[in-house]
Structure 1
Amino acid sequence: MELGFLKPLFDRPGPWASVYIDTSWASEDAAQQWHLRRRAVAGQLIDAGADAYTCEALMRRLAEEPVSGTPPGRALFAAGAEVVLDLPLAAAPYIGEASWSTLPHTAPLAGLRDDQPPCLVAFIDHVGADLELWDALRQEPAGRAEGTPWRGHRTVPEDRHEWHYRNRVENTWKQNAEIIADEINRTWPECGAGLLVLAGDARERKVVRERLPQQIRAVTVETEHGSRSSAGRADGHLDEAVAGIREEHARKRLRDALDHFRAGRGRGGEHRPGSVEAGPGEAAEGVPAVLDALRSHQVATLLLAQIAPDAGRDVWIGPGADQVGVQRGDVQAMGVPKPERARADDALMRSAAAGDAEVMLVPDGMAGPSGGLGAVLRWTT
């Protein structure tokens, strides 16, 4: 999960109210349940010492929740009587949680946000393509490519003009495929997708794929489901296919990151064919080592285990994202006269966002860093 969307939270001082709440309306008494959830959130915040103005701002925002079309959950972060960030969640929190703390409690987002990359889906036919951006919560138009329609019929009498006709048709299609590939290439940097899925006739998919730049071809997958026609758009198997493609891509990225981490901490021998290898020292494990790497902006990927004993331990922080240490004196030495306590996982998330790192959740049952906190490094000293 990329962390750039969290940066607005770290541009202002706390304390922060952080709320994770189930927004589902599946039961018959959903309205009553929603009222009770909001009351529970208010009670938790008041008990934790949150100021009345910030609580009121949160309650007003939650009261605006629509009764249909909502995501499974929401995460809200408020400070100074203002809701600074309101995020839809791809999964509902198991238990509604509200906290009042020095830093916003962002660590749970690693397991509740959609950590699979947005996907650019191209619906292709022999004339052009429609592009859509898909993620767990939405499907929205992202572009359109239109080429030259074919003239005549696909089958012609077998006479001396047939070869010339077929050649013109083939050239027209190749030109259209070039137009489609150019539009995909133009759209790609802007849309933020991590995957490209090509839907349509197998021959048309192949010709377009061959014309894509290598960096896009490397993350391109074809599916036999769906097409540009109305019936093809309504293919019920397409949603399932795209979801499966995104899930497999996310699993592979996590496996590669963990392979890199294990090799980097000097415990090799677990590489899979095709995985990225690292040399010893290209990983950090445990709170002190990860904090050191984050302060120097070495971290490429922050690893948080689903069950992390070290996640809730105290560290000391200053107002700057790089002002963080295990001991109070460490942060005082950075010029901070009055360091404050914070959860280790939230401090790591703040520093990772400032350093443009990503975060990956290591599911329970998968071998990850000791204590639940680790990192794959960009470079070593």
Structure 2
Amino acid sequence: MRLSLLKPVIDRPGPWASVYANIPQSTEDAAKQQELTASATTAQLFALGADEATCGAVHEALLTWRGGESGAHAGRALFAAHGAVVLDTPLPGPPAFPFAAWGPVPRVTPLLAAIGDDPVCLVVRLDRAGADFAVLGQRGTEDAGQVSGADRPLHRTSSGDPSERHFQTKVENTWEHNAAEIADAVREAFEKSGAEAVLLVGEARERHSVHDKLPEPLRALTYESEHGGRAPGAESALVDRDIAHVRAVQEREHVAQVADRFRTGAGPGNKSAPHAAAGIPALVEAAREHRIDTLLVSPHGADIARHIWVGSDADQLAVRGTELTSLGEEHPVAARADDALVRSAAATGADVVVVRDPERAPSGGLGAILRGTEKPAPE
């Protein structure tokens, strides 16, 4: 999961107002409903102890936001501290449980659960002459350049004349040359973009030819769409469906691989040198020592809402407040374990994976793969 979205809230001191709101967009009384949502949310925050300046900033943000979504309702998450909204981001849909919270660390776990693993897909719209690249993820689409091959000859003729057959051979050679150039450009764009999958869009022959010329590891991560093409106007809603399918497959496979690595590392065969940690005490110790490589979080679990003690820095965590006091933190405060561990993981460059399947999730809802664990090579 890409945690760059959380960067604005990770290192800033709290306390934090965290809001997950359902903003009506296209109903007749949308403006009135938006005003009611803003007023009710800020009243709730004030009752929880939020300062007047932060409540005012949240109220203004909720009242004036225009997301432009086409649906009837737009989900939205925002985080504010010390009189300023620090992060304001749309959700893929309405929040499952709209709420407002006030606490020492931002309530970011519901945001991560909403956006999921957010795999990035490199979309390649190609034809015989070249290809256009776009990088697509949950946060939007970015142009990733293009490649052009030889522009002649590209079209075969139907004549049986020997000279025409020679011309057709040159056409075939041009196609093969262009396919090789496109495949090489796909490899470069894939490596540069950090994508986790590729989707080829275009005519069947061109797609297959490029697919066959990709290096084997990349070929295994490359899919093809039978819909749409490179020409203007060839885009189709079916292509969007295919992109969503590819991203869903990648997310499912990545979560399964991480869950399997955790289960293997947490097994009895690794007691002497554990590669995984489970349980609040072990996770807190690993986070404090910057040893978490990947944090696993389940939306449901007995440990996620347990309170641990935190300080002003992201790596100041403890099971008991006296531990932090002895380490020099004068004002330790209690916070939810899931949000405190996510904040610590993001601050130290770790990854976070949301595991929704209860059969794959760690016991208690929280677990970690520790640094030093070798990651398996792609199959």
| RMSD between superposed Cα atoms in Å | 2.7
Matched, 1:337 2:330: yes
Q: How has the CA–CA distance of structure 1 residues 353 and 241 changed in structure 2, closer, same or farther, with 3 Å as cutoff?
A: same
Find the counterpart in structure 1 of residue 339 from structure 2: 346
- Measured after TM superposition, the shift of residue 129 of structure 1 is 1.1
Find the counterpart in structure 2 of residue 176 from structure 1: 178
Unaligned regions of 5+ residues in structure 2, if any? Answer: 375-379
Moved more, 207-216 or 83-92: 207-216
Per-residue CA deviation, residues 256-287 of structure 1 (Å, 9 max, x unaligned), is 2222222221169xxxxxxxx9x982221111
Find the counterpart in structure 1 of residue 114 from structure 2: 112
- Measured after TM superposition, the shift of residue 351 of structure 1 is 1.0
Find the counterpart in structure 1 of residue 260 from structure 2: 259
Per-residue CA deviation, residues 44-69 of structure 1 (Å, 9 max, x unaligned), is 11111111111212222222222632
Contact 2:325 2:331 in 1 (8 A): yes
Find the counterpart in structure 1 of residue 153 from structure 2: 151
Per-residue CA deviation, residues 158-181 of structure 1 (Å, 9 max, x unaligned), is 232244323322232233223323
Secondary structure at 2:173's aligned position in 1?
helix
Q: How has the CA–CA distance of structure 1 residues 286 and 148 changed in structure 2, closer, same or farther, with 3 Å as cutoff?
A: same
- Measured after TM superposition, the shift of residue 350 of structure 1 is 0.8
Matched, 1:39 2:32: no
Length-normalised TM-score, structure 2 = 0.88
CA distance in 1, matches of 2:154, 2:205: 20
Secondary structure at 1:226's aligned position in 2?
coil
Contact 1:41 1:96 in 2 (8 A): no
* Paired AA for residue 83 in structure 1: V
Q: How has the CA–CA distance of structure 1 residues 183 and 62 changed in structure 2, closer, same or farther, with 3 Å as cutoff?
A: farther
Q: 2:234 aligns with which of 224, 232, 235?
A: 232
- Measured after TM superposition, the shift of residue 231 of structure 1 is 5.1
CA distance in 1, matches of 2:372, 2:93: 34
CA distance in 2, matches of 1:157, 1:60: 72
Q: How has the CA–CA distance of structure 1 residues 214 and 152 changed in structure 2, closer, same or farther, with 3 Å as cutoff?
A: closer
Per-residue CA deviation, residues 326-351 of structure 1 (Å, 9 max, x unaligned), is 12233234332332222111110111
Per-residue CA deviation, residues 306-343 of structure 1 (Å, 9 max, x unaligned), is 21221121111222222211122332343323322221
Q: How has the CA–CA distance of structure 1 residues 261 and 80 changed in structure 2, closer, same or farther, with 3 Å as cutoff?
A: same
Matched, 1:356 2:357: no
CA distance in 1, matches of 2:39, 2:268: 49
Find the counterpart in structure 1 of residue 300 from structure 2: 307
Find the counterpart in structure 2 of residue 80 from structure 1: 82
Secondary structure at 1:180's aligned position in 2?
helix
* Paired AA for residue 313 in structure 1: R
Find the counterpart in structure 2 of residue 274 from structure 1: none
Find the counterpart in structure 1 of residue 124 from structure 2: 122
- Measured after TM superposition, the shift of residue 367 of structure 1 is 3.8
Find the counterpart in structure 1 of residue 11 from structure 2: 11
Moved more, 181-190 or 292-301: 181-190
- Measured after TM superposition, the shift of residue 185 of structure 1 is 3.6
Per-residue CA deviation, residues 110-157 of structure 1 (Å, 9 max, x unaligned), is 211242312221111001112223334644433222222233741242
Matched, 1:23 2:23: yes
Find the counterpart in structure 1 of residue 281 from structure 2: 288
Find the counterpart in structure 2 of residue 373 from structure 1: 366
CA distance in 1, matches of 2:291, 2:337: 18
Q: How has the CA–CA distance of structure 1 residues 190 and 32 changed in structure 2, closer, same or farther, with 3 Å as cutoff?
A: farther
Contact 1:281 1:380 in 2 (8 A): no
- Measured after TM superposition, the shift of residue 87 of structure 1 is 1.6
Q: How has the CA–CA distance of structure 1 residues 196 and 334 changed in structure 2, closer, same or farther, with 3 Å as cutoff?
A: farther
Secondary structure at 1:46's aligned position in 2?
helix
Q: How has the CA–CA distance of structure 1 residues 152 and 342 changed in structure 2, closer, same or farther, with 3 Å as cutoff?
A: closer
* Paired AA for residue 63 in structure 1: L
CA distance in 2, matches of 1:23, 1:319: 32
Contact 1:89 1:114 in 2 (8 A): no
* Aligned residue pair count: 372
Q: How has the CA–CA distance of structure 1 residues 42 and 165 changed in structure 2, closer, same or farther, with 3 Å as cutoff?
A: same
* Paired AA for residue 258 in structure 2: A
CA distance in 1, matches of 2:249, 2:148: 31
Unaligned regions of 5+ residues in structure 1, if any? Answer: 269-276
- Measured after TM superposition, the shift of residue 189 of structure 1 is 4.5
Length-normalised TM-score, structure 1 = 0.88
